Structure formats: C-alpha cells, structure tokens
Structure 1
C-alpha cells in the first residue's frame, strides 16, 4: 500500500539554506553603490585632495 502524503517522512537538515538571510538587492552593492571599503578609500582620497595648503 503506498504511503499517503500525510504519512511521508521528511528529513530536515539545519544546514539546508532554503532562502538566504539577505538578498543581493538588500545590500549597497545591489543598489549600485560601492562597497564600504571602496567608499572609505574614496572618501580618504577626497579629503587628501581637498587638504588646505597651510596643512603641508
């Protein structure tokens, strides 16, 4: 006699990643913005470029 759908055993693994915790659109890079490290380097370079002459 075949098992009914209700009687079927299902193995569940905690390692199985059905849905990611975060989608690609849920990140800065998903929206086309630079990654935080690149943004930090760009900001550092901007501050160095705008450094007043009397600071040298």
Structure 2
C-alpha cells in the first residue's frame, strides 16, 4: 500500500471531511464532483468539463 507521501490526498480523503463537504454542497443543491489535485488547477480541464468552481475541504 502506498503511503501518504505518494498519495497526499489520503489524509483528508479517508476522514469524514470529504463526505461532510460533499453533503453540505448537495444540501445547497450543488452537484459536486471529485477531481485529482493535479487536474483541479488545470483551467482547461475544468472548463472543458463544465466546472465553475473548485472547493477544497478544509
């Protein structure tokens, strides 16, 4: 199994933070999606797929 250095997102992804943020957005009527961190900063990728905003769990 890879460690957190190989997968830096693992620290928050395994916690309830992602789930809680997802549910908060759904309650607001948003259709959230998950994208890899390296694509979350790629404006072309996001635009081509219709993303208007990137929200990162705190």
**TM-score scaled by length of structure 2:** 0.28
Computing the radius of gyration from Cα coordinates, the structure with the larger value is: 1
Higher relative contact order (Cα pairs below 8 Å, separated by 6+ residues)? 2
